[in-house]
Amino acid sequence: MSQTGKSQDRYLTFSLGTDRYGIPLLSVKEVLAMPEIKSVPETPAYFLGLMNLRGQIVPVIDMRTKLGLKPIARNEATVIISDCGDSVIGVVVDSVDSVIAPNAEDISAAPEMANRKNAAYLKGVCRQGEALLLFLDLPALLNIEEKNAIQTKTKLAA
């Protein structure tokens, strides 16, 4: 079977309400049901706290809050444990949907936006029928000050 027209990249897709997002599958370490999370004082609203993952302290962020989406009451949520370069983070999403390997012709570059600084984490858009799937770069989701603050709080808790 030929790979012509196929993207070599695979993505884990997840939902936040009716919106769908994707992250590179190679950055995903595991997917978990919502664990117990210990809140940490004096942290940003999107920073839910810390979780213990088999002895490793992992910071957990709420994707809805970080992306500026309306909060909802969740009966169930999922945490995606992701490798973000020099650290591991957990991101809380409404649900994990599937793994996809989209056709290259269905992927477009991220559109230019007036406030591109706040959307540096948007890496591309994939058409799936009439729906759009936004590809995110999780390491770019947090700026350097946010990463440093989270790493400091994580080290203090360890």
CA proximity to 16, closest of 93, 113, 89 = 93
Identify the pLDDT of residue 1: 33
Q: Which of the two residues, 116 and 101, has the higher pLDDT score?
A: 101
What percent of the chain is helix, strand and coil (3-state, nearest 5)?
20, 45, 35
Tens digits of residue pLDDT in 19-65? 999 999 999 999 999 999 999 888 888 999 999 999 999 999 999 99
**Minimal CA–CA distance to 37: which of 16, 67, 62?**
62
Domain 11-157: state its class: mainly beta
In this predicted structure, the answer to whether residue 98 has a pLDDT above a threshold of 90 is: yes
β-pair partners for 15: 20, 95
pLDDT for the residue numbered 80? 97
CA distance 100 to 96: 12
Q: What is the mean pLDDT of the chain?
A: 83
| Separation between Cα atoms, residue 113 and residue 99, nearest integer Å | 28
